[in-house]
Amino acid sequence: MAKKLRETGQGLTHHCVTTCHGGRNLLFGEDGRKLLMESIQTCRSKYDFELIAAEIASGQIHLVIKTVPGGKSISFIMQYIKSGIAAKYNRTMGTIGPFWNGRFKSTVIETTGNPEQYLHNLLCNLQMKTHG
C-alpha cells in the first residue's frame, strides 16, 4: 500500500511527532533536551521556520512548527532535525544504527476542526506527559 502523501503547503502550522527506535526514551533528561534544541537551532540557521513548541515525551518528540511562504517544506525541516539528533547521539554515545522508527507523523493544525482547541489540548497533554 502506498504511503499517504504528507501535506506540505507553506505558511502552515504542523504538529510533528517522531518516535525513537523501538519506542525507547533515548532523549531523556537535560542531555536529550540539549541535543534536541541544538539540532533545532542548527536547522533554523539553515532553513527559515517558526518553532512554536518542542517537547520530549515518552520516547517521542513533539514539535509544533510553522513553515514560511517560500521556505522549505516540513519534510526538509524534520529530516534535518532528525538526522542532526541521530548523528550527534550516535557520535556522543559511540553507537551506530537507526535512532528513529521511521517517518514522522504530521497534522496540519489549520485543517483540524478547531485549530485553537487542537493546539490548546496538545500543549496541555504534553505538559502532563512530561511533568506529571
- Does residue 117 sit within a domain? yes
CA dist., res. 115 & res. 132, Å (int)? 25
The predicted-structure confidence for 67-101, as pLDDT tens digits, reads as follows 999 999 999 999 999 999 999 999 998 999 899 99
* pLDDT less than 50: residues of the chain: 131-132
How many domains does the structure of the chain reveal? 1
- Does residue 83 sit within a domain? yes
- Does residue 3 sit within a domain? no
Note down the domain range covering 76: 13-131
- Does residue 8 sit within a domain? no
Q: What is the CATH number of the domain that holds 87?
A: 3.30.70.1290
- For residue 126, what pLDDT is reported? 74
* Nine cell digits for residue 29: 533528561
- For residue 131, what pLDDT is reported? 45
Instruction: Give one DSSP letter per residue of the chain, joined into a string.
Output: -PPPPPP--TT-EEEEEEEBGGG--TT-HHHHHHHHHHHHHHHHHHS-EEEEEEEEETTEEEEEEEE-TTS--HHHHHHHHHHHHHHHHHHHHT--S--B-SSPEEEEGGGSS-HHHHHHHHHHHHHHHHH-
